[in-house]
Amino acid sequence: MPQQPDAPVPANPLAHIVYFEPRIPGNTGSAIRLAAVTGARLHLVEPLGFDLSEAKLKRAGLDYHDLAVMDVHPSLDAALDALPEARVFAFTTRATTRFTDVEYRPGDVLLFGPEPTGLPPEALKHPRVTDELRIPMLPGRRSLNLTNAASIAVYEVWRQTGFSEGA
């Protein structure tokens, strides 16, 4: 698919995808593409496990880098301070609330932890976390791929908000 340089970046993000200390460049590149095609905004919390100029990051994002908005923050506090009014939903396999049990609003924060450990306790206990959510899986499975999980969550937000601006 050829890049569409005239395609607008939405002024008001559908959701804010926050990757806490991501380690795998391909997953972050895929998240750039996810942000570009849904109108979400991607936030990366340092330290990152890769350099932003890494080839795997660029390859996974294909030609969508110019169509996505991405911010890098030195800490989780800094990322959430940049989004003072947003509700924060932390995704973890240990949560009891399903991600589909929430009524999402545009601009909500979807917080995901690093591969393969997930969010650490201090991130889950952050005072800004509104709720901890899980994506159902079969028993005995550890977790989904990071960007697969983010995609499921972002598309649920978009579905609930009527796929606004979607074709």
Instruction: Enumerate the known binding-site residues for S-adenosyl-L-methionine.
Output: 113, 135, 143
Do 51 and 85 form a contact (C-beta atoms < 8 A)? no
Q: Which residue is it, tokens 């997930």?
A: 118
Q: How far is 85 from 128, CA to CA, in rounded Å?
A: 10
Q: Which residues fall in the annotated binding site?
A: 113, 135, 143
DSSP string, 32-54: HHHHHHHT-EEEEESSPSS-TT-
Q: 3-state DSSP call for residue 160?
A: helix
